[in-house]
Amino acid sequence: MTKASSKRATPPPGDAADFVQLLTPDGERVSHPDYSVDFNDDELRGLYRDLVTVRKLDAEATALQRQGELGIWASLLGQEAAQVGSGRALREQDMAFPTYREHGVLYCRGIDPIMPLGLFRGVDQGGWDPIANKFGIYTIVIGAQTLHATGYAMGIAKDGKVGTDEGEAVIAYFGDGATSQGDVNEAFIFASVYNSPIVFFCQNNQYAISEPLTRQTRVPLYQRASGFGFPGVRVDGNDVLATYAVTRAALDNARHGNGPTLVEAYTYRMGAHTTSDDPTRYRVAGEIEEWQAKDPISRVRKLLERENLADAAFFTEVDAQAKVEAVELRERVLALPDPDPSEMFKHVYPHGSPEVDEQAATFAAYHASFEGAQH
Amino acid sequence: MGETLTLGKALNLGLRRAMEDDSKVILMGEDIGKLGGVFRITDGLQKDFGDERVIDTPLAESGIVGTAIGLALRGYRPVVEIQFDGFVYPAYDQIVCQVAKMHFRSRGKVRLPMVIRIPFGGGIGAVEHHSESPEAYFSHTAGLKVVACSNPSDAYWMIQQAIASDDPIIFLEPKRRYWEKGEVDTAEELSVQEPLHSSKVVRPGTDVTVLAYGPMVRTALDAANAAAEDGRSLEVIDLRSMSPLDMGPVYASAKRTGRVVVVHEAAGNLGMGSELAARITEECFYSLEAPVLRVTGYDTPYPASRLEEEYLPDLDRVLDAVDRSFGW
Ligand SMILES: Cc1ncc(C[n+]2csc(CCOP(=O)(O)OP(=O)(O)O)c2C)c(N)n1
């Protein structure tokens, strides 16, 4: 991926830089005084492929849930650009702390999309190595990960790994609802007073389950940052180019030792909160249609078509390839084995515990007694 | 006249009746308005009582409980919904340091008549933090009262009693039993119901006393049915109140049967069973034929949902404990 403009994402509070957009819903490129991207044609096509693939894999997971193969699924539908744009903006050395919905970021990190599926199937609770993957364990308790991200960023600064192009940065994902949590506000404070290399990336998808944004805030969320002493910027979260540019600039700003930024990616959750949710109970009429017109994928397609960067064969091939990946994902989900019950006693403590070990032994003996009885 | 209601619907009607009876009763929580709560326990209440009384709050549990304290000080009777057991912990400080101690600190000058409703326990195939059993944390805290309903009739009456109570009450709802049906005589008066903090023999028996509450009452009753086929008579007591414990019926039963099994989903270590075993031993030592045995969740984090059936006490594990009691 190419570099975005590394101009600082520091619009003073209340400045005109209210809403950064580089690609309109009609697929027209627009310029912005502070942000730009210089993707080549291949890279633009690559972004389109990412968006389509991420949506396809997500749809497959929704289908798997409907068929009883997953216990629940938190769909990212509608938020593809926010996730692909920010995910691709991360550099190799950067660390991400996700919620439970960042499947698109995970994909862009080059991580196997099967990785979080065990959690949703109910066979594990994540189980991946957050350090090795540079991608934290999915966090369901709203907002908690923003503090972990901040502490990790504090550690980067302590290690002296800021101040150069090779510096490290952290990105913390959270939703609009999460901004009400004490943890998130505390994370802002810690990051601010320690000038930590972190980007707070809020996907404002307009809802926290059924509650609209007005239940969480009276001011645009990005403006909160100024009260904490660092810049905030609102980007069109359905615009992959703008999201990339803004996130890249904020991350580079952080890695160079200039402290935190709050990025508010203004987007919309097109699907249900999770497969357990019934959005017909709270959606406002016309909303879906309004956001449909701002779809993150179709605007990139329009751009590619307008600028003759891709032909029909390309689009067909992208769809076909995404389908191949989805089918493969499905097969691998179906093959995920149920864990052995003894797993539950493992990893409670790094060096075990005589009490838990004893319970594991009793558990095994109890189950063995049934097997004996059957013969 | 009895009505057949699910436990969830019984709670909904109980809340409705409490709101009709006292205009100071207000409901607060995440998604409880238009959505009616993720379990629909407050379904239709915002429509009928308005958004000044059924309040969708910001997504902040410490904020919800903390502001409920202020509203209670101002004369309201807040009923707070915590969306899932695992999300009560951000409010833990407010509950333990403030809710529990305000009356004591003011030397009785103020009361906090608030109810904190928590859907608790596992068995619904959920992801992590959605299947916790936090009752012991709260029961360990002086100044709080802790109750759990197990059936629709109790749900209907206990929620009203909790709201009418001058104490702050942690009201635990067995989420996996929300859809189970039972008879509720809604025409009765609240004043004639048995006290909120009373335990109740829900199935008389002679051989072994089984103590349970919340979701495990059904499990204990199923075990009693199965044991009866083997000629063993289990007496099942629904404790209903974890704090204070109503030990009278428990001691009476233990002295008759000489054998006690306690069942709960929460981990065994320092769980309700530990306290029950200690008290029964102190009070009924010479009547006991066997130690009080516990059937509980293991001392591990609640496992991934595909393992929850292995983790949760079930009929077989209760019967196994009954066997062990007899084998003593
Ligand atoms: C501490 C806590 N409280 C409540 C919940 C239940 N819950 C899960 S997701 C959610 C809404 C989150 O909204 P938002 O932060 O906007 O993120 P989104 O899901 O829209 O991406 C709630 C209330 C939770 N997971 N954690």
pLDDT at A17: 54
**Planar angle of CA B268, B197, B13, nearest 5 degrees:** 100
In the reported structure, the alpha carbon of residue A141 is separated from the centroid of ligand 1 by a whole-number distance in angstroms of 7
Residues having CB within 6 Å of any atom of ligand 1 = A 101, 140-142, 175-178, 205, 207-209, 269, 273; B 30, 59, 61, 83, 87, 90
In chain A, where the domains are located: 19-334, 341-375
Helix axes B216-229, B315-326, angle to 10 degrees: 60
Nearest Cα to B297, choosing from B134, B103, B125?
Answer: B134
pLDDT band (50, 70, 90) for residue A34: very high
Give the whole-number percent of chain A exceeding pLDDT 90.
93
Cis status of the peptide bond prior to B244, with omega within 30 of 0:
yes
Q: Which residues of chain B are in CATH 3.40.50.970 domains?
A: 7-189
The alpha carbon torsion through A56, A60, A62, A68 (nearest 10 deg) reads 180
What's the confidence (pLDDT) of residue A15? 44
Q: CA angle at residue B279 from B278 to B281, to 5 degrees?
A: 65
3-state secondary structure of B184: strand
Which residues fall within 8 angstroms of residue B257, CB to CB, at 6 or more apart? B205, B206, B207, B208, B209, B235
Nearest CA-CA distance, residue B60 and chain A, Å: 5
Confidence (pTM): 0.96
Q: Taking 50 as the threshold, does the pLDDT of residue A215 lie above it? A: yes
Point out the ligand 1 atom lying closest to the alpha carbon of residue A208: 13
Q: Does the pLDDT of residue A8 top 60, yes or no?
A: no
pLDDT of residue A30: 97
Class of domain B200-325 (CATH, top level): alpha beta
In this predicted structure, the answer to whether residue A104 has a pLDDT above a threshold of 90 is yes
The tokens for A220 are 């645009």
Nearest by CB to A210, from B35, B86, B317: name it.
Answer: B35
User: Cα-flanking dihedrals φ and ψ of residue B237, to 5°?
Assistant: -115, 125
> Tens of pLDDT along A297-321?
999 999 999 999 999 999 999 999 9
pLDDT > 90? residue A167: yes
Query: What is the structure's pLDDT at A373?
Result: 61
User: Chain A residue closest to B89 (CA)?
Assistant: A141
In sign, the C-alpha dihedral spanning A205, A210, A213, A216 is negative
The residues, ordered by sequence, that sit 6+ positions from A241 with a Cβ below 8 Å of its Cβ are A22, A23, A29, A37, A39, A47, A85
Could you tell me which of A291, A340, A309 has the C-alpha nearest to residue A47? A309
Of the options 3.40.1380.10, 3.40.50.970, 3.40.50.1360, 3.40.720.10, the CATH number for the domain spanning A19-334: 3.40.50.970
Low-confidence ranges of chain B (pLDDT < 70): 1
ipTM of model: 0.96
pLDDT of A18 reads 83
Compute CA distances A199 → A63, A194, A253, whole Å. 33, 14, 9
Query: pLDDT at position A6, please?
Result: 37
| Probe site for chain B from A282, A283, A362, A371 (most B CB atoms < 10 A) | A282
Best mutation target among A120, A137, A140 (most B Cβ atoms within 10 Å) is: A140
In angstroms, rounded to a whole number, what is the distance separating the alpha carbons of residues B19 and B32? 15
Q: What is the pLDDT of residue A372?
A: 64
Each residue's pLDDT tens digit, A182-199: 999 999 999 999 999 999
Which regions of chain A does DSSP assign to beta strands (E)? 95-97, 170-175, 198-204, 207-208, 211-212, 232-236, 261-266
> Which pLDDT score, from 0 to 100, does residue B2 have?
87
Where helices occur in A34-142 by DSSP H, the ranges are 41-66, 80-89, 103-108, 117-121, 130-133
Domain B7-189 has CATH 3.40.50.970: yes
Average pLDDT over residues A37-46: 98
